[in-house]
Amino acid sequence: MVRAGEIERQLSASERWFWLVDQLSPANCVVRLRVRGPIGAYRLEDAAAAVVAEYPLLRVVVADGPRFVPAPDPHLPVLHRIVADPDEWRTVLDEQLATPVDLATAPGRLIDLAWRPGTSDEQHDLILVFSHVLIDGRSMAALGSRILAVAFGAPAATVTRPPTPPADELIPRRHTRLLTCLRTNLTGQLTVFTRRAVGLPGTPPPLRARRTRTVIRAIDGNELAALRTRCRRAGVTVNAALTAALAQALGALNRPLGSGTAAIGIPVDVRSRLRPAPADDEPGMFTAVVPAFVPFGPGESLWDAARAAKAQLAQRITGGADLAGLAAIRYGCPRSLESGVRAVELVDRRAPWNVTLSNLGRLTAPETPAPLPITALTVAGTNSCASALTVAVATYDDTMSITFCYVDTQLPHATVELLADRTVAPLNR
C-alpha cells in the first residue's frame, strides 16, 4: 500500500462541534447489513484493514486540542458474537447507539452477529458504528458497502487516497459571510416562532443521561412500488411524502384534530456544491441540515403538504441555505471543552426544532466476484444535542427501512410506536 499522506490538523468548526457534543452524549451513526450464508474466517478483519488503509480519515485519532493525529495503530475493531435469536440485532443496535466511540483509539467498530453458523440457515447481521465527528450517514453506508465488497472478493486499493479537506474549508465564499450566515439562521428561528411550529413533545433527560432507542418500520414490495407511483403522479419525491406523513403524525401527537405546522430538519448532501467537490464515496461530514415547515391538520392533504415540503427544500438549496447553515458553525463553535459544554447545553435547550428526517435514498449492493447476498439494511443515528427524534431512512432492493430513533423516556415507547404507525399508514394507502 502506497500512502500519499496522513491527516494531522485541528478539527474544523463542524467537526469540533460534534466532538463537543460527543463529550456529553454519544454522536454515533449506525448501519446494519444482513448477509445470508457464511463469511470466511478473517475476511471481515482483512477487509476492514484494507478500507482503513485506503482512507486517511479512518487512520486518525483525536488528541488534545482537539486535533486529528495519525493513529499509532490504525484499525477498525471487528467483534464476533454467535446469537441464539435472529432478531437480537435490534437489541445490539440500540446498545451501539448508546455506546460512545473511543476516538482516542479508532474511528468506529464492526460487530458481526452470526446466527446458526455452519448450517444452511447461517446468516450474519453486521452492525457498523462510526462517530459522527468523522462521517455522515451516507459515508457510513458507503464504507459498509466497501468493507463487504472487499470481504467478498473485490480488489482492495493499492494506493491510499490523499487527504480531503473538511467540508467547512470547501464552501464557496459567498455562503460563508457572517451576515449571510446570520440571516439564514435567524430566518429559520423566526419562522418557528411565528408559525408556532411543533416538534416532538416532552422533556428530554439531561445530555449526559440521554439514550437513543429505536422503533423500526418498513414499506416493501408492492406497497413501495405503489408509493413511488403515487409520488410521481403528485409531482413529489418519496422524501417529500415521508416528510409530509411525519408532519401529520407529529401534528396528531401535539394537537389532536387541530391544524398547524411541524418543523422538521432535512439533512442535505452538499458534496456536489463544494469547491473542489469531494468524490461521491469519500468519507467525511458532507451534510448540512435545512428546516422544512410542513402544514398538518384535518383539511391538509398529504400530497399538498408534500408539495410544500418539496418546494421549500428546493428553494432553500437554490438559495444556499444549507451551505450558509454549515458555514455558520465557524462563528459560534467554542474552542475549549469548558466553554463548549455550556454552549452545547444552551443550544440543546433553545433549539428551534428537534426532529430530523434523514433519507439516504436507494442503496445498491457492490459488485463482487463472489456472490454477496445482502437481504436487509437498516440505518440509525443518535439523538444528542438539539435532537429528540431522528427518522433514518434507506431503501435497499424493494424495501424502504424507516427507523424512528428517539430519546428514551421523553415519550413512552408505546407513543413512539403509535407515531411510527401514523407516519407509515398514509404512505401505504
CATH number of 9-151: 3.30.559.10
- Averaged pLDDT of the chain: 96
The three cell numbers of residue 424 are 407509515
Determine the pLDDT at residue 3: 56
Distance CA 412, CA 54 (A): 44
Q: Which amino acid is at 223?
A: E
For residue 336, pLDDT over 90 is answered with no
Determine the pLDDT at residue 366: 94
Determine the pLDDT at residue 94: 98
Close Cβ partners of 75 (under 8 Å, ≥ 6 residues apart):
48, 49, 52, 106
Q: pLDDT above 70 covers what percent of the chain? A: 99
Find the helix or strand (DSSP H, E) in which 362 lies.
strand 355-363
- 163: which DSSP letter? P
Determine the pLDDT at residue 4: 58
Determine the pLDDT at residue 421: 99
pLDDT digits (tens, 9 = 90+) for 243-257: 999 999 999 999 999
Residue range(s) in the chain whose domain bears CATH number 3.30.559.30: 167-359+384-427
Task: Report the Cα 349 to chain-centroid distance in Å.
Answer: 22
The three cell numbers of residue 364 are 445498491
For residue 390, pLDDT over 90 is answered with yes
Close Cβ partners of 407 (under 8 Å, ≥ 6 residues apart):
200, 204, 205, 210, 211, 212, 383, 387, 388, 389
Distance CA 398, CA 376 (A): 10
Distance CA 175, CA 325 (A): 9
CATH number of 167-359+384-427: 3.30.559.30
Determine the pLDDT at residue 339: 85
pLDDT digits (tens, 9 = 90+) for 91-119: 999 999 999 999 999 999 999 999 999 99
The three cell numbers of residue 99 are 455506546
Q: Determine which of 63-77, 274-288, 332-346 has the lowest per-residue pLDDT on average.
A: 332-346
pLDDT digits (tens, 9 = 90+) for 165-190: 999 999 999 999 999 999 999 998 89
pLDDT digits (tens, 9 = 90+) for 114-148: 999 999 999 999 999 999 999 999 999 999 999 99
Residue range(s) in the chain whose domain bears CATH number 3.30.559.10: 9-151
For residue 1, pLDDT over 70 is answered with no
For residue 2, pLDDT over 80 is answered with no
Coil, strand or helix: which one is 14? Answer: helix
Per-residue exposure over 370-386, b if at least 16 CB sit within 10 Å of its own CB, e if not = eebebebbbbbbbbbbb
Compute the average pLDDT of residues 9-33: 97
